[in-house]
Amino acid sequence: MPSYDPAKNNTVIIVGFPYRILVEPVVRNHLDEPIEGCFDPDKALISISKASTTDMMNETLLHEILHGVSDATQASLTEDQVYRISRALYASGVRPGVVFGKKDCKKD
Ligand SMILES: [Zn+2]
């Protein structure tokens, strides 16, 4: 399971590798469309669009972490599979455990 190292602020460890978590005003895909988050294995970076609640950002982060798990395990999950599994995990109470800074999100 991914783990959070509080000593390294906003870093999540996915299958042994640290990924930096960056909260941005808006994350955009390769078509310049606004998206909720992005997993970039080349940069070891997870970008999260700033949302109105930390819950929404945590749900997005869980989704991006699952992309990382899929990548690390060569499971080759499709976007739809990542979406469905991360939604089910979130609905089951699984949380990434990252504390987003106050400046990174509105109060929820
Ligand atoms: Zn995705």
pLDDT tens-digit profile of 53-92? 888 999 999 999 999 999 999 999 999 999 999 999 999 9
Name residues with Cβ closer than 5 Å to ligand 1, which is an ion: 82
> Is it the case that residue 6 has pLDDT exceeding 50?
no
SS3 74: coil
What is the pLDDT, as a whole number, of residue 97?
A: 74
- CA of 65 from ligand 1 middle (Å) equals 9
Q: Which helix (H) or strand (E) holds 65?
A: helix 54-72
- Mean pLDDT for 35-39 is 95
For residue 7, is pLDDT > 60? no
- Top pLDDT among 10 and 49 is at 49
Cα–Cα dist 11/24, whole Å: 15
Distance from the alpha carbon of residue 22 to the mean position of ligand 1, in angstroms: 16
What's the predicted TM-score (pTM) here?
0.83
Distance 86 CA to ligand 1 centre (A): 9
Taking residues 41-53, report their average pLDDT.
Answer: 92
pLDDT for 9: 61
Centre of ligand 1 to C-alpha 27, Å, is 13
Per the CB < 8 A criterion, the answer to whether 58 and 96 are in contact is: yes
- Mean pLDDT of the region 36-49: 95
Parse the chain into domains and list their residue ranges: 3-94
- Separation of CA 63 and ligand 1 centre (Å): 6
